[in-house]
Structure 1
Amino acid sequence: MNAVPPAEGALVLTLPGWQGSGPGHWQTLWEARHGDLRVEQHDWMQPRRGDWLARLDEVLLSLPPARPVLLAAHSLGCIQAAAWAAHSRLTGRVRGALLVAPGDVEREDLRHALPGWAPVVRQRLPFRAILAASRDDPYCSFDKARTLADAWGADLRDMGAHGHLNADSGLGEWPAGRALLHELQGSD
């Protein structure tokens, strides 16, 4: 299989969601195949928004300042990226973001499971973004994904009916997602 390379010189940072991304998740597979770097969190099970935002800043500060970055976020990682972009002084380091299957943390059941994450930041992102959403995501309706894409200024991509676009969706290395990331690399 021919892999789509990231932007020349750009580093892809993966932002997993709640509970992290397991061995069969496309983020984990991308890290192994393409050398993408996971932003590791101290607590994947009881995520604290402030801790997750600070950790992304820490990782960016540890990288060479001239190296551009692409974000590849999944689920709660999308909500993290939007909240981080509204407050960080490091957003200029990010060339673009692939936001996949955002979790609807404003929904009653998820609000209780993930306290402190609602309301979702609805500020336009300061970098180009593509939001990939599934028609049958159990954690976010397609209409809600469209609302978030509009608020963030992201291009919405309809991925059909593939659940939460995770390992359970059977995506493997998810070449269609990598192609979306490739689109972002040409957005200078």
Structure 2
Amino acid sequence: MGFKGDPVRVLVVPGLHDSGQGHWQTWLEGHFKRSTRVRQDDWTRADLERWADRIDVTLSREPGTRWVAVAHSFGCLALARYLAHGGQGVHAALMVAPADPEKFAAGPFLPQSQLPIPSALLASENDPWMRLDSARSWARIWGSQFINLGAVGHINTESGFGPLPHAKTLVELMIQRVERQRRSARAHPLEFSFAI
């Protein structure tokens, strides 16, 4: 059970087919003590509600814990859906190379306004799963800081990632700021600026 003084932890939310040994999410997971991965019953079936429910089930095992969620591809859509239902436990989110909601008829089921937590969205100029202008548009809707990493494909193993130091830096900044907010007696909504 989580307590108010416990460290902020990292929640890894992979996309379709999970993130294998060479994937940046797995690399990132190894850098943060007591990080947790959301595990889907069926990694091949993009079921938005089921995937969002698995986030809820995962976090309900450790009530009171504060989480920074790190999602990739379809995992970003599942996380956004979870946040639309309140997002209990998640205090900041990094979304990397989201899948285009239109590919899954998921748009109407995602938040249509600013997310209830600080967030950043990393996108690519040549991502086959989401055009850059669409990624920018969703970042605007969700109030997420938008970061264009350039022509780097789907930001996955096939695109050459491996390690993703930008993601690690952003997660560290998010953790620090969530910790600061917790320590502040008069916590105000956080204004995030993730300069890297």
Establish whether TM, by shorter chain, passes 0.5: yes
Higher relative contact order (CA 8 A, sep 6+): 1
Where does residue 169 of structure 1 map in the other structure? 159
The amino acid across from 1:73 in the alignment is: A
Identify if the C-alpha distance between structure 1 residues 120 and 135 changes in structure 2 by more than 3 Å, giving closer, same or farther. farther
* SS of corresponding position for 1:119: helix
Where does residue 186 of structure 2 map in the other structure? none
Cα displacement (A) at 1:33: 3.6
Where does residue 62 of structure 1 map in the other structure? 61
TM-score of the superposition, structure 2-length normalised? 0.81
Where does residue 100 of structure 2 map in the other structure? 104
* SS of corresponding position for 1:24: coil
Cα displacement (A) at 1:118: 4.0
Measure, in 2, the Cα distance between the counterparts of 1:46 and 1:34. Answer: 28
Where does residue 12 of structure 1 map in the other structure? 10
Measure, in 2, the Cα distance between the counterparts of 1:48 and 1:120. Answer: 12
Where does residue 78 of structure 2 map in the other structure? 80
Residues 136-176 of structure 1, C-alpha deviation per residue, up to 9 Å, x if partnerless? 11110110000000011100011111111111222222111
* SS of corresponding position for 1:145: helix
* SS of corresponding position for 2:98: coil
Identify if the C-alpha distance between structure 1 residues 132 and 120 changes in structure 2 by more than 3 Å, giving closer, same or farther. farther
Identify if the C-alpha distance between structure 1 residues 73 and 64 changes in structure 2 by more than 3 Å, giving closer, same or farther. same
| Structure 2 residues without counterparts, runs of 5 or longer | 1-5, 182-196
Cα displacement (A) at 1:64: 3.9
Bigger Cα displacement from structure 2, 73-82 vs 25-34? 25-34
| Residue 95 (1) aligns with residue 66 (2) | no
Where does residue 142 of structure 2 map in the other structure? 152
- How many pairs align? 171
The amino acid across from 1:48 in the alignment is: D
| Contact kept? 2:49, 2:78, Cα under 8 Å | no
The amino acid across from 1:131 in the alignment is: L
Where does residue 49 of structure 1 map in the other structure? 48
Where does residue 194 of structure 2 map in the other structure? none
Identity across the alignment (%): 36
